[in-house]
């Protein structure tokens, strides 16, 4: 990864703009999402962790912790947006290169904790998995906690994925609860092993949106709850074919075999015919992931596709396409062969260098920071294959970590 040449500086705690934003979104959060919270409030200096279930998670956490002001880590990509970047900086956010060893962001986090007695938020999953249950957490978070040696709080967000998932076209009101607990004291942070820290994190953040739905009898109304669903759920549970899944309104069906289901206000599927497949999208996601784990367990596994290569450019509100070529993932790692800014190039990333391909459903997927830019790849033939790449990256990373 290219080094960040920004000179080290003391990270300022969130100021008046943060308070103003929280006060503005507070009534919206409670009314639009039926937000409640339980447990304790974090108090700096500390680290705050949470599962990452939906785009407005930061709103839930800011409201839960207030008047404590949280210093949020945000993807470097958002800081390239001309109008958004000043707001993020005024709100005290720290830019972070996703799934990369970013020492500048770590120094800024340490500044907030040690010098400002602040509260730093980290999403240990690194992205929104949108599978309705906790995603993969890298052991690196355990090493970071041992390094900071400060109190660690965990906020478990439940219900946000019901109607507000990564694939949805618009938000639907259900119920969201944020439960926060102190899981590691300063004394324990320096004594616990990485494995013990990971166990506490996984235990405290483990959730299942459909167990929450059943427990709280959550009702989510709307006529378009499955709009965009087929950008994430691409494999048919009936015939096994891929990318024949179509979703519209509250209906999902396979155009290859005719399997069809309706989504109710309890966010559960009712399938046509005698055979019932998945009760909910947690089961569907887990099945797709399990199918991918079986595929990557083959030493000959290889996934290749023609893609467009995009990079972030300061002042642009989206990625800029600068190349075209073939991207391959196999047991040697990730390899791109094609053009980049008019030149023929070959880029290779070892498996240990790529924790996860971050997903923009139905559009593209992103690999870690390199050569001064975030890298994003647009599948040319079918943008929906971005989800397959995402699952393949997760499955092969977990296999690599076990080895």
Confidence category of residue 374, pLDDT binned at 50, 70, 90: confident
Residue-wise pLDDT tens digits, 202-240:
999 999 999 999 999 999 999 999 999 999 999 999 999
Structure tokens of 289?
């992931």
pLDDT mean over 86-90: 84
| pLDDT in the model for residue 1 | 40
- Which token pair is 142? 């355990």
**In the structure, what pLDDT confidence band is assigned to residue 32 with cuts at 50, 70 and 90?**
confident
**What is the secondary structure of 43-112 as a DSSP string?**
-SSEEEEE---STTHHHHHHHHHTTSPEEEEEEGGGGGSTTHHHHHHHTT-EEE-TTS--HHHHHHHHHH
Question: Which of the listed ranges 31-35, 290-294, 395-399 does the model predict with the highest average pLDDT?
Answer: 290-294
Map out the domains of the chain with their CATH numbers.
16-216 (no CATH), 229-295 (no CATH), 299-402 (2.30.29.30)
Between 83 and 176, the higher pLDDT residue:
176
- pLDDT grade, residue 3 (50/70/90)? very low
**Which residue is listed with tokens 């956490």?**
61
Confidence of residue 101 (pLDDT cuts 50, 70, 90): low
Q: Considering the chain, what percentage of its residues have pLDDT values greater than 70? A: 96
pLDDT of residue 51: 94
The verdict on whether omega for the bond into residue 160 sits within 30 degrees of 0, i.e. cis, is: no
- The whole-number average pLDDT for the span 128-151 is 87
* Residue 6: per-residue pLDDT: 47
Mean pLDDT of the chain: 89
CA–CA gap between residue 59 and residue 56 (Å, rounded): 5
Q: Tell me the pLDDT tens digit for each residue of 295-322.
A: 999 999 999 999 999 998 888 778 899 9
Sign of CA dihedral 322, 326, 327, 331: negative
Beta bridge partners of 364: 360
| 151: nearest Cα among 46, 50, 49 | 46
Q: Are 362 and 231 in contact (CB under 8 A)?
A: yes
Nearest Cα neighbor of 326 from 310, 346, 355 is: 346
The three-class DSSP label of residue 161 is helix
Q: Residue by residue, what is the 3-state secondary structure of 301-329?
A: CEEEEEEEEEECCCCCCCCEEEEEEEEEE
- Mean pLDDT along residues 185-198: 92
More confident residue, 65 or 368: 65
Query: Hey, is 242 helix, strand or coil?
Result: strand
Structure tokens at 155: 């906020």
Whole-number pLDDT of residue 170? 84
Helix, strand, or coil here: 180? Answer: strand
Q: Which of 10, 170, 37 is nearest to 92 (CA)?
A: 10
Q: Mean pLDDT, to the nearest integer, of 259-280?
A: 94
């Amino acid at each position: 990864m290219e080094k960040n040449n920004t000179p080290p500086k003391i990270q300022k705690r969130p100021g008046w703009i943060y308070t103003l934003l929280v006060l503005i979104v507070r009534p919206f959060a409670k009314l639009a999402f039926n937000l409640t919270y339980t447990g304790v409030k974090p108090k700096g200096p500390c680290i705050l962790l949470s599962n990452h279930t939906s785009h407005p998670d930061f709103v839930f956490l800011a409201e839960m912790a207030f008047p404590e002001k949280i210093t949020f880590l945000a993807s470097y990509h958002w800081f390239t947006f001309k109008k958004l970047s000043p707001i993020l900086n005024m709100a005290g956010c720290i830019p972070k290169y996703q799934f990369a060893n970013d020492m500048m962001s770590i120094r800024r986090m340490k500044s907030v904790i040690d010098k400002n007695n602040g509260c730093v938020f980290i999403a240990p999953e690194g992205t929104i998995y949108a599978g309705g249950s906790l995603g993969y957490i890298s052991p690196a978070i355990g090493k970071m906690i041992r390094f900071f040696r400060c109190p660690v709080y965990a906020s478990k967000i439940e219900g946000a994925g019901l109607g507000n998932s990564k694939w949805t076209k618009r938000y639907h009101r259900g119920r969201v609860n944020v439960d926060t607990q102190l899981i590691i004291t300063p004394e324990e942070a320096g004594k616990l092993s990485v494995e013990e820290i990971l166990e506490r994190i996984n235990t405290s953040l483990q959730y299942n949106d459909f167990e929450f739905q059943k427990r709280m009898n959550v009702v989510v109304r709307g006529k378009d709850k499955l709009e965009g669903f087929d950008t994430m759920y691409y494999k048919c549970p009936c015939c096994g074919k891929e990318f024949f899944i179509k979703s519209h309104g509250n209906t999902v069906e396979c155009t290859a075999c005719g399997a069809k289901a309706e989504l109710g206000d309890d966010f559960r599927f009712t399938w046509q015919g005698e055979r019932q497949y998945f009760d909910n999208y947690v089961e569907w996601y887990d099945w797709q992931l399990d199918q991918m784990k079986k595929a990557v367990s083959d030493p000959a596994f290889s996934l290749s596709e023609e893609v467009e290569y995009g990079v972030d450019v300061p002042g642009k509100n989206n990625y800029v396409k600068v190349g075209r070529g073939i991207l391959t993932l196999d047991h040697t790692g990730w390899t791109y062969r094609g053009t980049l800014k008019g030149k023929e190039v070959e880029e290779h990333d070892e498996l240990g260098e790529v924790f996860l391909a971050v997903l923009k459903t139905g559009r593209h997927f992103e690999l870690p920071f390199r050569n001064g830019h975030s890298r994003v790849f647009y599948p040319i033939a079918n943008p929906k294959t971005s989800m397959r790449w995402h699952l393949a990256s997760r499955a092969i990373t977990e296999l690599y970590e076990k080895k």
